[in-house]
Every structure is written in C-alpha cells, then in structure tokens.
Chain A
Amino acid sequence: MADTYHRKLERSAIGLVIAIIAAASVGGIVEIAPLFTIDETVEQAPDMRVYTPLELAGRNIYVREGCYACHSQMIRTLRDEVERYGPFSLAVESQYDRPMLWGSKRTGPDLARVGGKYSDFWHVAHLTNPRDVVPESNMPAYRWLARTTLKTDDLPQHLAAQRALGVPYTEEMVENAARDAYGQATPDTDFAAGVTERYGDKTQVSAFDGVTTHVTEMDALVAYLQVLGRLTGAAFEGTAAPEEKPDPEG
C-alpha cells in the first residue's frame, strides 16, 4: 500500500513542479502578506522628524562603508539589550529608513540609540583611528572621511528620491538641501538658521569635525550617528525604561 503510494509520487513530474511552486510561495506570502496591514501594525509617532540633508548624506556614507555589516540598529526585546541600550526598537523608528539598516550581525555594539551618548570630538577621534580611544577595538580606521569634501550638489535629488518613497520632505526642504547640509555643519552662519527653522530647534547644528571652513564626509557621518535614536521619543512611551525620552521637536 505504502509502496504504491510512493511509486505514484515518485513518478509524477508535474506533481513535483506544482509542489515546489506551492512550497516556495509560502516564503513569499509570509513576507508579502504583512505589508497589507502595515498601517495598522506600525506604531504612530507624530513627533518624529525626517533626517536632515547632512544626516541623510551621513546615512549614505554609513551604507557605502558597510557599517551595517558589523553594527545593528535594532534593540531586541531581551532584558540584557534593553538594560544596556535602552527601550527596544519600534518599527516606526525606522519608518524613514529606506532601506532600513537593522542588521543582524554585531561585531561592534548596536547603534540604535547611540545618538548623544558620546561627544562629536569622540566620534571624530574614533572614526579617525578607533584604537586611539578604544584600545581593544578591531574596527577599521576611516580617517579619509575628514579629508574628503562632502558632495552636496546631488542632495536635492536624494531628498526627492526619499520623498518619492513616502518620506514627507517638503518642497522647501528639497530645494534647500545643499544649503542646509552646509548650514548644519557651520554654526553661526545664516545657513544654520535655516536648518533649525525647517527641521526643528533640537536639530544639532555643530562643527562636527571641528572645522567650519568646509563640510566633509566626517561631518555628515557624525551628524548621522548623533541623531540615531533621537528622531522620535515613541519607544520611550509607557515603558519601564528609566531614561527620559529624547525630544526631537524641541
């Protein structure tokens, strides 16, 4: 009886093809089906602001240099992670991350809430040569970032592309992208005022790499690192976390 059944199964080529399609489509359905309910499942964060052009440029450098290969941006729902890094990550916190950089490998620490934890100066020293500040670090050095002038002329297109994907950049933000990128790294200039006007008073305007004469890739990457976890306070709502939530609106 069993032998006859197996014989039928083994001899049916069309049956095998159909079975493969059915089995493989399970993987697709599992990934696609939840997207239809994304509006209900992603939390609300009305206080959340978008990345400034300089932070977005820094994010692009983060992607370019492959930082996500060793650093996750996803605090999981585990006690040791919550006690070390802060409240677990919410989906809404990466709603403007296109693509998201959650990552799954931690050679280095999680960076989801690293913004504001260290000084700009520390980040510059650390990126220039990690061993100078963390002797046991095995992170590569990124010292050319401070020598490389940031390309800002294509930032309006980057913002426009993000807007096409649903990130709520206004026409004014897109038009002023290059100026705002310059302004965020050069405090006390007219350009700097425009950044806080468009992105909120709490936006960190600072000479990130300590040099205000020109804007480098170091400025952009440090600006991005300093805003990680600080775009919204949503994750701090109603949790046992003792930390006070960041206030992106100011």
Chain B
Amino acid sequence: MAEVERDSVSGRETTGHEWNGIKELDTPVPRGVLMFLIVTHIWAIVWWFLVPAWPLGTTYTRGFLWTDQRTTVEAQVVEGQQERAAWMARIETEPYNAIMADEALMQTVRHTGRQLFGDNCAACHGRDGKGRANYPDLTDGDWLWGGSPELIEQTLRVGINTAHPDSRIAQMPAFGRDQMLEREQVRSVAAYVYSLTHPDYSTPQNIDRVNAGREVFVTTCATCHGENAAGNLEVGAPNLTDAHWVYGGDLDTIIASVHGGRQGHMPTWDERLTKAEIRTLALYVHDLGAQQP
C-alpha cells in the first residue's frame, strides 16, 4: 500500500495518483447526494415489485399493485361515459323539439357541442362555424340540404359524396369542360346567374347576354336549381338568388363553377361519432344559426 499523502491546501488525503504534477484528492461523494442515490435505488427496487417490470419469457411480472394502463384507461373512459349517460341518453332518444325546449339541457348541448365541433368540424367550417371559401357557413340560415336538426343529423351521419351507402350525392357537372355547353353559353349563363344577385349588372350592353343565359338556365340548370334559381334541398342544389355562396359569387368564380363543375365533400361521421354525439352536433349547429342576429 502506497504511503498516504495529504494535500497541503485542503488537508485531504490524495489517491496517490499523479498526472503531470496534478494529484487527485480522495474526496468521497457528499453525504446528501449519496443518501439520495441510495433512497432512489431502494425505491426502484420496491417499484419493481409493485408494477409490471421484468420479462419472463412469454409473460412478465405483473407487480403487486396489478396495474395495467390499458384497463385503467378503459375504466376511466367507461366512467366518463357513465357520468354523461343521463343527459346523453336524453339527447339520443328524446325528440329534438323536447330537447330544444329544455334550456338546461341546451346549455349542456352548447358546452359539449362546442368541444365536439372544435375537434371534428372546425377544421373546415371554422371554430365559429362561419365557414370560408369552399366550405359553407353554418350560421347564415342558408342550407344546401336543410337546416332542421333532423336533416343536419342525416347530413352528419352519411356525409356528402362519401363512400357511405346512403351518402347524400350532389354533383354540379362540368358543363364547359365536358362540352355540354359552348364556351359562349357558359359565359352567358354565368352572367344570368350573376345578374340574379346583382340587378344593376343588367345594363343595356349586358342585357342580351343575360337573356341568352336565362334560356340556357331554364333548359340546363333549372332541373336542379329550380326555374326561379332558388335551389333544391332534395339534391343539395344551392339557392343562387341570395348573397350566400359556397365557392364565391363573383362572375369569374361562377364561370369557373359552370365550366369545371363542383363536387363538395362532407365526411361521414357515422363510424367516428356516436349517435348521441351526432345529435349533439346537429343541435349545436342548428343552435349556431338560431343564435345569429
């Protein structure tokens, strides 16, 4: 054993090792740190026994607490469902009129519906439900497929142009691209549609084109949009005489719609949401419009 040497500054013993004149002190780990390490190691060993820890071939040690995160979360989800069960059952089974008459229940619908809407619908329709270009405003009272809670529920359930067997199907054909209408006919029918919401467009220099467009409209477009262009909820054909537009109401966008057609897509929520959730959303969306001035 080497001779013990003491460092003259700190008074501590050295290890006896020396590198280029630098000597290493033989200083132990501070007691507090050592205690902390010991306690954590003991805790780790105790924890091995309490929770699932060691693999044993085809199985593993389950631990004396018998915890399993999968069953824990399942139980929590079921517990949450039970907490909601009372009013969820009412929303699922009671008629819409009865629910809407119950102000307390409607408060729950607004609260829960807001969460569901934010998670599932806001990506397209916006958090306020006001939509944006290509996605309908749900608050303006103008509906493609009907705005009663029953019809909204149906739209939510089957979607529009989806793979769902009962999907709502809406197709605006590409009249220009697929050569159903001549280029000039596309332009004149668009001018006519534009004039419906812009009466001052029908000036003497435009009136011939507008009149020509009306004839094209009656023979080609009226089947879906109606002779008076007020739309048809049965086929999701929008009203062309109001100020609400899905794709845009300026002349260029109308020409683009007639030329290239439109096939909007609303996902089906049948698989992703429960019946009660869909009905909550139907009420929420209906209520959004009702709350608007």
A88–B134 touching, CB < 8 Å: no
B134–A33 touching, CB < 8 Å: no
Partner-B contacts on A (CB < 8 A): 2-3, 6-7, 10-11, 33-34, 37, 40, 77-79, 82-84, 86, 88, 116-122, 125-126, 132-135, 239-246
**Least Cβ–Cβ distance between A81 and chain B, in angstroms:** 8
Q: How far is the CA of A88 from the CA of B273 in the complex (A)?
A: 16
A118–B270 touching, CB < 8 Å: no
A244–B270 touching, CB < 8 Å: yes
- Among B38-86, those with CB < 8 Å from A are 55, 57-59, 69-70, 72-74, 76-78, 80-81
A79–B124 touching, CB < 8 Å: no
B26–A240 touching, CB < 8 Å: no
Given A33-B55, A77-B73, A88-B73, are A7 and B13 neighbors across the interface (CB < 8 Å)? Answer: yes
Q: How far is the CA of A241 from the CA of B112 in the complex (A)?
A: 18
A242–B274 touching, CB < 8 Å: yes
Q: How far is the CA of A77 from the CA of B70 in the complex (A)?
A: 6
Given A119-B266, A246-B271, are A133 and B123 neighbors across the interface (CB < 8 Å)? Answer: yes
Does any Cβ of A come within 8 Å of B107's Cβ?
A: no
What are 5 A-B interface contacts by the 8 Å CB criterion?
Answer: A10-B26, A37-B58, A120-B265, A121-B134, A239-B74
Q: How far is the CA of A244 from the CA of B271 in the complex (A)?
A: 5
Which residues of chain B have C-beta atoms less than 8 A from A244's C-beta? 270-271
Partner of B265, one of A2, A11, A37, A121: A121
Q: How far is the CA of A125 from the CA of B273 in the complex (A)?
A: 24
**Least Cβ–Cβ distance between A27 and chain B, in angstroms:** 15
Does any Cβ of A come within 8 Å of B119's Cβ?
A: yes
A79–B76 touching, CB < 8 Å: yes
Which residues of chain B have C-beta atoms less than 8 A from A3's C-beta? 13, 26, 28
B70–A40 touching, CB < 8 Å: no
Given A7-B26, A37-B55, A37-B57, are A240 and B77 neighbors across the interface (CB < 8 Å)? Answer: yes
Q: How far is the CA of A33 from the CA of B26 in the complex (A)?
A: 38
* CB nearest neighbor in A for B73: A77
A11–B17 touching, CB < 8 Å: yes
B26–A6 touching, CB < 8 Å: yes
Q: How far is the CA of A163 from the CA of B1 in the complex (A)?
A: 63
Does any Cβ of A come within 8 Å of B111's Cβ?
A: no
Q: How far is the CA of A122 from the CA of B132 in the complex (A)?
A: 12
Partner of A6, one of B28, B55, B59: B28
Partner of A34, one of B55, B122, B135, B273: B55
Q: How far is the CA of A122 from the CA of B69 in the complex (A)?
A: 35
**Least Cβ–Cβ distance between A41 and chain B, in angstroms:** 9
Given A77-B70, A132-B132, are A119 and B80 neighbors across the interface (CB < 8 Å)? Answer: no
Contact with A along B101-120 (1 / 0, CB 8 A): 00000000000000000011
Partner of B267, one of A88, A119, A134, A240: A119
Task: Determine which residue in B57, B132, B267, B271 has the highest number of CB atoms from chain A within 10 A of its CB, and name it.
Answer: B271
B123–A84 touching, CB < 8 Å: no
**Least Cβ–Cβ distance between A75 and chain B, in angstroms:** 10
Q: How far is the CA of A119 from the CA of B59 in the complex (A)?
A: 43
Which residues of chain B have C-beta atoms less than 8 A from A126's C-beta? 123
B119–A84 touching, CB < 8 Å: yes
A79–B120 touching, CB < 8 Å: no
Q: How far is the CA of A239 from the CA of B73 in the complex (A)?
A: 10
**Least Cβ–Cβ distance between A140 and chain B, in angstroms:** 17
